[in-house]
A = this chain, B = another copy of it.
Amino acid sequence: MKLIIAIVQDKDASQLSEQFIDANIRATKLSTTGGFLKAGNTTYMIGIDEKRVDEVLTMVKESSHSREEFMTPPVNLDASMEDTTAYPVKVQVGGATVFVLPIEKFKQF
C-alpha cells in the first residue's frame, strides 16, 4: 500500500472525483488553498495498492495536467470602437502536484 496525495485545481476536481469512483478508488478530499496552484485547489488522499499507483498517476495527469486553453476576454467598454472586438487569448489552466508516500501500516476498521 502507498498513500497518494494529489493536489489539483478546483475546476479539475469534479471530473477527477468521477474517474476515481468509476475505477473504485476511494479518495478522501481536503479543501486547500494557494501555493502549488494559484487558484483554489483540492487535495486528495488515496490509499492504494502499489500495483495501482501508476493508474492513479495517469488519471491525475489526464484530467488535471497543465495546459493552454483559449479564453475570450471581456470586451473593454471604455475602449474606442476599433478595440471592442475581443480576440480569444491563450491562458494556462490546470496543473497537478502528486506525492507518493510509503506506508508502514494500513488499517480499515
Contacts and interface: CB of A to CB of B under 8 A. Distances in A.
Copy total for this chain: 3
A60 B106 CA distance: 13
A95 to B, nearest CB: 7
Interface residues of A, number: 46
Tell me the interface secondary structure of chain A in the complex.
strand
A4 to B, nearest CB: 9
Interface in A70-109: 94-109
Interface string A1-41: 01101010000000001001000001111111111100001
Interface of A: 2-3, 5, 7, 17, 20, 26-36, 41, 43-47, 53, 57, 60-61, 64-66, 94-109
